[in-house]
Amino acid sequence: MRARTSDIEKAVGVLRAGGLVALPTETVYGLGANAEDPAAVSRIFQVKGRPASHPLIVHINGAECLDDWVQEVPATARLLAERFWPGPLTLVLRRGRRVPLEATGGLETVAVRVPDHPVALALLSAFGGGVTAPSANRFGSVSPTTADDVRAEIGEAVDFVLEGGPCEVGVESTIVDATAEIPTILRPGGVTREDLEAVLGCPLAAPATSHIRVPGQHPSHYAPRARVVLVEPEKVVAEAELAQELGHRVGVFLPAAFADAEVKAHAVVAVPGSMAAYARRLYGFLRELDQQACDLIVASLPVEEGLGLAIANRLRRAAGPRTTT
Ligand code: TXA
Ligand code: MG
């Protein structure tokens, strides 16, 4: 889906004036500001209700602009940028002078990516600078994958919402710390570990969900309002029916292998068998079950390979202890 030229011009005007633009990317919608405008960047934190120490991603127009934003690009980082950009891969590198500390949460490293969405790329090209954008949701809640989700989350607080249709990938970018010779994955996402390893020719460590490595990797991120309970796939139906009998309004993520099962629950979501389709719909499913006022969601983890790794990471976090009260 392409943007109207008038919409891109309007969005560029908002960014130049220090305002906030919600923009589509291939992963999730972002809440964007001019990366070089510290006051605009600070507004992002206010709108999201996000701690100022929690670093943002700078979105740029192409791999060839990378050197404008970081201090040095190790050969492995260059290789990954050339191979995966535009695409759902974020590289953490040493911060260039153009990037204000407001955008990095005070860190001397910066996260950078080139989004693979025609509307985002049209905006970045017309704007000419970098756009820092976290996911366009309130801190700790589920990321938006449609423009309507953005309006429901923070519509009144953004100056302009760019339409871009539903996000193709549906989970956030893979974040790779590329400051060292052997990169590490900080957050699994749209580019799989297998794809990274194939390009690098060496194994990569998968991140441990329980280990808070950087500000913002809180266990309860990506949480719907309903409490999420994870069980083995073959126990999903029985667990859901028991909770429903006990008086909960239960939403069920019915695993594809049990698609024919009858479930006595308040709402049932049929989990797609393909991991790409599941990732694309994951946040939409969580939102739908919230809208249906479920207070408990029973789900199981997919096999943790390919995109299943990112899906399992988000489900674990959705099920994790809530940090907000
Ligand atoms: O797909 C995505 O990555 C989406 C779209 C909008 O691009 N953005 C996104 O942003 O997910 P956000 O802010 O929700 O998550 C970015 C994460 C932060 O939680 C933080 O953990 C990590 O990126 N991050 C940012 N800068 C970092 C840095 N310098 N070092 C380590 N981690 C960093
Ligand atoms: Mg986010």
CATH assignment of the domain containing 111? 3.90.870.10
Does any domain span residue 101? yes
Residues 170 and 54 in one domain: yes
pLDDT, tens digit, 9 for 90 and up, residues 239-248: 999 999 999 9
Given strand 57-59, what is the order of strands in its sheet? 160-161, 21-23, 30-34, 131-132, 57-59, 109-113, 89-94, 174-177, 184-187
For residue 152, what pLDDT is reported? 95
Does any domain span residue 325? no
Give 143 Cα–ligand 2 centroid separation in angstroms: 6
Give 298's pLDDT tier (boundaries 50, 70, 90): very high
Last residue of a domain, one of 178, 209, 240: 209
* The two three-digit tokens of residue 41, written as one number: 């960047």
Residues 128 and 184 in one domain: yes
Residues 119 and 41 in one domain: yes
**CA dihedral of residues 110, 19, 225, 220 (deg, nearest 10):** 10
pLDDT, tens digit, 9 for 90 and up, residues 93-126: 999 999 999 999 999 999 999 999 999 999 999 9
For residue 140, what pLDDT is reported? 84
What total number of domains does the chain contain?
2
> 291: domain range?
227-318
Give 215 Cα–ligand 1 centroid separation in angstroms: 10
Residues 67 and 106 in one domain: yes
Does any domain span residue 214? no
Does any domain span residue 324? no
Higher-pLDDT residue of 216 and 314 is: 314
The Cα–Cα gap between 158 and 146 comes to: 15
Residues 254 and 180 in one domain: no
Nearest atom (ligand 1) to Cα of 27? 1
Of the residues 44, 50, 57, 119, which should be mutated to test ligand 1's pocket, given the most ligand atoms within 8 Å of the CB? 57
Residues 57 and 204 in one domain: yes
Does any domain span residue 105? yes
Quick check: 216 pLDDT over 80?
Answer: no
The Cα–Cα gap between 276 and 173 comes to: 14
pLDDT, tens digit, 9 for 90 and up, residues 185-201: 999 999 999 999 999 99
Last residue of a domain, one of 160, 182, 209: 209
Residues 60 and 159 in one domain: yes
Residue nearest to atom 31 of ligand 1 (CA): 214
Residues 123 and 235 in one domain: no
CATH number of the domain at 239, please: 3.40.50.11030
pLDDT, tens digit, 9 for 90 and up, residues 157-168: 999 999 999 999
Residues 98 and 24 in one domain: yes
Quick check: 20 pLDDT over 60?
Answer: yes
Q: Which amino acid, one-letter code, is at 197?
A: E
Of the residues 119, 142, 146, 172, which should be mutated to test ligand 1's pocket, given the most ligand atoms within 8 Å of the CB? 172
Q: Is the CB of 40 under 6 A from ligand 1?
A: no
Residues 199 and 241 in one domain: no
Does any domain span residue 10? yes
